Amino acid sequence: MATAVLMPKLGNSVESSIIVSWLKHPGESVTQGEFICSVETDKAVVDVESPANGTLLDVFFKEGDDVPVQTTIAVIGEAGESVEGFRPGGQTTASAAAPDTPVPSATSPTPVIPVRSSESNDTKAISPRARGLAERKGLAWDDLNGSGPSGRIIERDVQAALVNRPKMTPLAQSMVKAGDFAAPAQGSGSGGRITTKDLIPRGAGEVEATPTAAADEVEIIPVKGVRKIIAERMLNSMQTTAQLTLNASADARSVLDYRKQLKASAKELGLQQVTVNDLVLLAVSRTLLQHRSLNSLFYGDSIAQYQHVHLGFAVDTPRGLLVPVIKYANRLSLSQISNEAKRLAAAATEGKSSPSDLEGGTFTVTNLGSLGIESFTPILNPPQVAILGVGSVQLKPVEVDDSLEFIPSLALSLTINHQVVDGAPAARFLQTLSQNLAQIELLLAL
């Protein structure tokens, strides 16, 4: 009896994953537990184990295919066994030859899970009204997420996309108006501006290249996997929340002094690698306990306020931005925080994060200070209601006893979801955080 290999569900919110590579190929024998392919979600790359001993009879998807979870991707069995009962309905297959004698699907041991139309661009549904609006405004709707029944794109989706649509260059605007081109939701110009090279020819397929660039000047990179998820999440964040950013700075002398002491500490203590960012994470994890309204998740009709801090921190990886989560950060010591941050960052960079590493955050810290950024506007990671951006340390003139002193300061930018968090509580959080950073030794004593 053959056994189906299903696309695993890697986390609660994961609906599909991309097959990165097939480690085994049809005809090869496999043992139970042996890896047969790698799949990638927006958060992690995971190897899929064989559920049985036998021969890999067939695979139903190519590398690079985006496959809904719980879909049969391959079949393990005895050589010569038919696999037709397992083939997902309507899917393209990796094997070219069509079977001569199809097995009636009634004998299939696993239910065939059809691909929902909302997940397939080919059959993406859009209401006539939404389509009309998109066309009048020159908006390409293929990449929009539909909020109508069964994922149908409806008017409000187009309107939201129009509101958030980046500005267009004047030339791009006139080309769209002329009717031959549609504008994508995101542009590649500065600040996301849509330039002529972003434009999508109407009736694509007939037109082979964009008018402004020859094919060899441009590398076309398909948007998928982590990049696709990031694109959707970022846009979704901007569309669905009311973001407000507050800027402040903290006296960094205490933090820098303490960091010096750590660097100078005995190697056996294992504290030499503690970074300024680790100290900031520690301060945030403690400060949030006094400002729980920022340690919350917002679900539209309810707000979940957390007693413990599960602290996400942004990591720049080759695949794109990932946010691993330090669980119960408020209970961890500085060295524990530091070690956990290093472990999680390394896994993310190597593409080895487990789905649980990337889930469950209640607040996020993103630090661009090491790249010399003085100040920036972080984008919320919904349903979280706040995110802290940390800039570089700068000397700041401060009036001390009638004279000016230049003291090192840490730039802090807090973006909040103003739907849930008012300005004053956010400001008070920043104020407490600044004080805590300015007296980091006291915080460590608590």
Which residues sit at the interface with another protein, rule CB under 8 A?
Answer: 127-130, 132, 147-149, 152, 154-156, 300-301
Q: Which is nearer to another protein, 148 or 320 (CB)?
A: 148
Name, in order, each residue with C-beta under 8 angstroms of 415's C-beta and a sequence gap of 6 or more: 243, 244, 245, 377, 378, 379, 380, 386, 387, 389
- Least CB distance to another protein at residue 145 (A): 12
DSSP letter (8 states) at residue 26? T
Q: Would you state the structure tokens that stand for residue 161, as one six-digit string?
A: 């996309």
Options 180, 308, 316, 418, the catalytic residue: 418
Q: Which is nearer to another protein, 129 or 331 (CB)?
A: 129
- Told to judge if 418 belongs to the known catalytic residues of this protein, a careful annotator would answer yes
- Least CB distance to another protein at residue 149 (A): 6
- Least CB distance to another protein at residue 198 (A): 27
CA distance 278 to 211: 49
Q: Which is nearer to another protein, 152 or 396 (CB)?
A: 152
Q: Which is nearer to another protein, 74 or 158 (CB)?
A: 158
Give me the DSSP letters along 130-156.
HHHHHHHTTB--TTPPP-SGGG-B-HH
CA distance 286 to 18: 38
Angle at 331 between CA 440 and CA 272, to 5 degrees: 50
CA distance 356 to 12: 10
Strands 386-400 and 363-367, sheet pairing? parallel
- Least CB distance to another protein at residue 84 (A): 27
- Least CB distance to another protein at residue 125 (A): 10
- Told to judge if 422 belongs to the known catalytic residues of this protein, a careful annotator would answer yes
Distance of CA 383 to the CA centre of its chain: 13
Q: Which is nearer to another protein, 127 or 375 (CB)?
A: 127
Helix (H, G, I), strand (E, B), or coil: what is residue 284? helix
Q: Which is nearer to another protein, 39 or 153 (CB)?
A: 153
- Least CB distance to another protein at residue 241 (A): 14
CA-based nearest residue to 171, from 194, 188, 190: 194
Give me the DSSP letters along 163-211.
HHPPPB-HHHHHHHHHTSEEB-SS-SSGGG-B-GGG-EETTBTTB-S-S
CA-based nearest residue to 315, from 357, 285, 377, 252: 357
Q: Which is nearer to another protein, 148 or 351 (CB)?
A: 148
CA distance 5 to 70: 9
Cβ burial of 108 (10 Å; 0-12, 13-18, 19+) is middle
- Least CB distance to another protein at residue 244 (A): 22
Name the residues annotated as catalytic. 418, 422
